[in-house]
């Protein structure tokens, strides 16, 4: 079961952790977040990230970052060895939730599921009522409320 570490520009990492804990209250010990502040040095960020990584690694860990090429991702790349620690840039909520749902799988499987969750979880949503659905009162609804069928 890989641990999860989010390294992102403040306050994104802690916000994503809060969203994850809202949905998965038991994820606390295997999920950590590091908010990168604008004035922090790479060395300070790396020291903090190593400490958090040590807390979640068992021995595997997956590090999520917000933007490829930015400081959080560069620090994560320094920590990754490609075997026990892997990095995914572009973290989003569907990716994080998918990782938590399948946290009992191997690191490679969690990475694959996270990437799939990210791509499948992003979609354009219709701006009007779906045309293939009708709205009608429920059979036992005496007030004739509109229910989507």
Please check whether residue 140 lies inside any domain of the structure. Answer: no
Domain carrying residue 71: 3-120
Tell me what the pLDDT averaged over the chain comes to: 90
32-66 per-position pLDDT tens digit: 999 999 999 999 999 999 999 999 998 999 999 99
Please check whether residue 138 lies inside any domain of the structure. Answer: no
Please check whether residue 87 lies inside any domain of the structure. Answer: yes
Please check whether residue 21 lies inside any domain of the structure. Answer: yes
pTM above 0.85, yes or no: no
Establish whether the linkage from the previous residue to 59 is cis, with ω within 30° of 0: yes
Confidence of residue 1 (pLDDT cuts 50, 70, 90): confident
> For residue 120, how many other CB atoms are within 10 A of its CB?
11
- The interaxial angle of helices 42-56 and 71-79, nearest 10 deg, is 50
15-32 per-position pLDDT tens digit: 999 999 999 999 878 999
């Amino acid at each position: 079961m890989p641990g999860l570490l989010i390294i992102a520009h403040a306050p994104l990492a802690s916000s994503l952790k809060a969203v994850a804990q809202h949905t998965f209250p038991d994820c606390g010990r295997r999920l950590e977040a590091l908010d990168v502040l604008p004035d922090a040095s790479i060395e300070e960020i790396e020291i903090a990230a190593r400490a958090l990584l040590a807390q979640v690694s068992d021995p595997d860990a997956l590090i999520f970052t917000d933007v490829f090429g930015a400081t959080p991702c560069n620090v994560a790349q320094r920590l990754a060895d490609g075997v026990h620690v892997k990095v995914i840039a572009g973290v989003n909520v569907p990716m994080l939730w998918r990782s938590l749902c399948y946290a009992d799988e191997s690191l490679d499987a969690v990475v694959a599921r996270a990437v799939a969750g990210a791509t499948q979880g992003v979609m354009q949503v219709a701006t009007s009522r779906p045309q293939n659905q009708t709205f009608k009162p429920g059979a036992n609804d005496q007030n004739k409320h509109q229910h989507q069928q």
